Amino acid sequence: MSEEIRSDIDFVRDVLIDALDERRDELVGDLFDLYNRVRERENTPAPDPFAGLGNINISSTDGIDYNFAAAGDVAIGGAEGQDVISFS
């Protein structure tokens, strides 16, 4: 059984329509506010998580695990001739 996933704005709109239909006047104002907040959120582009990183491109890791929580010195490369990046 395949069920279509509705967007958040569609869900809030349906609840708002039901509240209007059932004359739930005490909820209508709050639901309109919620509808407007959800609509603004859906129209706002997601922030770029890589903004401000210069020319670093890590969109493809090719099976490499990166640990960005590292502190101190991080050795990169093989055992011989390792490059070291310092986070001190």
pLDDT of the chain along its 88 residues, tens only?
A: 345 567 888 999 999 999 999 999 999 999 999 999 998 887 777 777 767 666 655 565 566 666 666 566 556 665 566 665 655 5
Residue 35, SS3 per DSSP = helix
Establish if 30 belongs to a structural domain. yes
Instruction: Note whether 86 and 72 are within 8 A (CB).
Output: yes
- Number of Cβ within 10 Å of residue 61's Cβ equals 8
Establish if 13 belongs to a structural domain. yes
Establish if 36 belongs to a structural domain. yes
- Residue 22 belongs to domain spanning: 8-43
Counting the structural domains of the chain, the total is 1
Establish if 52 belongs to a structural domain. no
- Number of Cβ within 10 Å of residue 12's Cβ equals 19
Residue 1 has a pLDDT of: 39
